[in-house]
Amino acid sequence: MKRINDIFYSLQGEGRHTGRAAIFIRFSGCNLACPFCDTDFSGYREMTDEQIVEEVLEMVPDKDGVYPMIVLTGGEPTLQVDERLIDLLHEAGFCLVAMESNGTKNPPVNLDWLTVSPKKNVMVRKCQELKCIYDGKEKVEDHGIEADYYYLQPCDVGDAGKNAEIIGQCIEEIKKNPKWMLSLQTHKLIGFK
């Protein structure tokens, strides 16, 4: 059984796949306690892999067309996601199964796309997308992770003035080190889940 916080259909709001239709499977629970985390872990439901896939398939608008991407997120999905769930999603027709992880535990090998947002105790050394949350206080670093794409994402601290300051600092950091690109949380900017 997996502890599921939420399953919803929306658009990917950040990183390389910004704007792409995506079904999010949000797992409950994490091995870190980041102050900026936007997941409410107070409630969850227990579901089997088959129940998860069934619910996800109900959200697909056109069963004969191109399926949206799947985003396994959390919390920390590596604490619960295994190769079997990913195999079932692939068998159901989903060609792109992605995961957003803090990188403290290695993901299943059959995953199609891995986004690592490192905080501490990082184990993962290679991913497709490295997304570092930038708060204007810490030095920008890749934590020794090799990635295809490197993103700095301004931390949303809930204060419009401070957020604007952090975005400005983030842009200056990227200009100093152009291997990084800017990732904005477009879902928050335009008001969708």
Instruction: Please give the positions annotated as active site.
Output: 24, 30, 34, 37-39, 100, 187
Q: Are 27 and 72 in contact (CB under 8 A)?
A: yes
For residues 4 and 26, the answer to whether their CB atoms sit within 8 Å is yes
Residue 7, number of CB atoms within 10 A of its CB: 18
Contact between 81 and 108 under an 8 Å Cβ cutoff? The reply is yes
List CB contacts of 161: < 8 A, sequence separation 6 or more: none
For residue 141, give Cα distances in angstroms to 40, 60, 100, 180: 28, 38, 18, 10
Return the ∠ at Cα 26 (arms to 25 and 28), rounded to 5°. Answer: 140
DSSP letter string over 28-84? ---S---TT-----S--EEE-HHHHHHHHHHH-S-TTSPPPEEEEESS-GGGT--HH
